[in-house]
Structure 1
Amino acid sequence: MCPSGRSLSLPSSSSSSSSASGSTVNSSFRPAFDVLDSDRDGKISGDDLRAFYAGRDAADIDDDLIGTMMTVADTNKDGFVEYDEFERVVLGGGKENGSVSSPTSFLEEMFKVMDKDEDGQLSHRDLKSFMGMAGLAVTDDDIDAMIMLAGGDRNGGVTFEGLHRILMNR
């Protein structure tokens, strides 16, 4: 449900997904997961991440960084990030192994990708573009409500701290 009280239209009719074990998992981050899962096989691979960053102005995204992202999120060490692993990282429950990457740095990378004009804020245009890329049909009022909920304003947008506060429920 959007901050405006309306439900978003997802590309699939399901609001939850089954994991390999057959259990149902929460799908609040499913659209973001689906954007990263470029081959739509239900799991994120290093190749999916490379495809996601290809064509973006992401010259600092190299194989080492992709490997680090995968290591942080791939808790079962099968070489892929399944939805439950992705959600755990986004919500702040990633590996506690002293890795250089953290859930906050993962969110920072996500923020940088969403911030197309690189001004340090997610503008109305940035959010609308990302939601469209994620397959979510949102109105301008929905975007405005998201910005306001994150403590931003229509003209300036949302800072990383505002996005972090919303995603981490703080």
Structure 2
Amino acid sequence: MVSSAEFRRVFAAFDQDGDGKISEAELRLCMKAALGGDMSAEEVQALMATADTDGDGFLDEEEFVRLVEETAAGTQDEEGDRCREAFGMYVMEGRGCITPLSLKLMMSRLGLHLDVDDCQAMIHRFDLNGDGVLNFDEFKTMMMMG
């Protein structure tokens, strides 16, 4: 399981202007960069409304961590199986992790043509242990955010 400290690191990556809060715009931008897809304004607003417990229109660090932890707790079994299956589609033979090259290859199969630098940036955002690749727990965190 991913620790709260690791979720806090992801929060810091999403908080692009460093103000200690994630705005709807930051959330939407980060989802697009991290997952290669765009969330609609309605999807972002719904996610914000669910997690923004103090009603200020932003996610502070505690709200963000609570959202991610609740999402993780609620999706362990069935989602875990689907997530493991998806993870296997991205992993290169024998590596057991997602590398920038394996991510680039999978994205190409999905019709998204990214360069290796883009893939490195996507991995970096969710690379909680800083090893330059995504292990399964890091991949799960990335998928929960989408």
TM range (shorter): 0.5 to 0.7
Q: With a CA cutoff of 8 Å and minimum separation of 6, indicate the structure with the bigger relative contact order.
A: 2
Q: Normalising by structure 2, what TM-score?
A: 0.52
Give the total of aligned pairs: 105
Q: Structure 2 vs 1, CA of residues 40 and 70 (structure 1 numbering), >3 Å: closer, same or farther?
A: same
RMSD: 4.0
Shift of 1:72: 1.0
**Greater helix share, structure number:** 2
Secondary structure at the aligned position of 2:43 is classed as: helix
Q: How does 1:2-17 map to 2 (within 5 A)?
A: none
Q: Structure 1, unaligned stretches of length 5 or more? A: 4-25, 94-101, 113-118, 151-157
Q: How does 1:94-109 map to 2 (within 5 A)?
A: 104=75
**Match for residue 25 of structure 2 among 23, 32, 47:** 47
Shift of 1:50: 2.7
Corresponding position: 1:76 with 2:54:
yes
- Please identify runs of 4+ aligned residues in structure 1 that moved more than 2 A: 53-57, 126-140
Secondary structure at the aligned position of 2:64 is classed as: helix
Q: Structure 2, unaligned stretches of length 5 or more? A: 92-97, 104-118
Shift of 1:139: 3.2
The whole-number CA distance in structure 2 between the counterparts of 1:103 and 1:67 is 21
Corresponding position: 1:132 with 2:124:
yes
Match of 2:116 in 1: none
The whole-number CA distance in structure 2 between the counterparts of 1:137 and 1:85 is 22
Q: Normalising by structure 1, what TM-score?
A: 0.46
Corresponding position: 1:29 with 2:26:
no
Corresponding position: 1:58 with 2:50:
no
Identity percentage of aligned residues: 27
Which segment is superposed worse, 72-81 or 35-44?
Answer: 35-44
Q: Structure 2 vs 1, CA of residues 138 and 31 (structure 1 numbering), >3 Å: closer, same or farther?
A: same
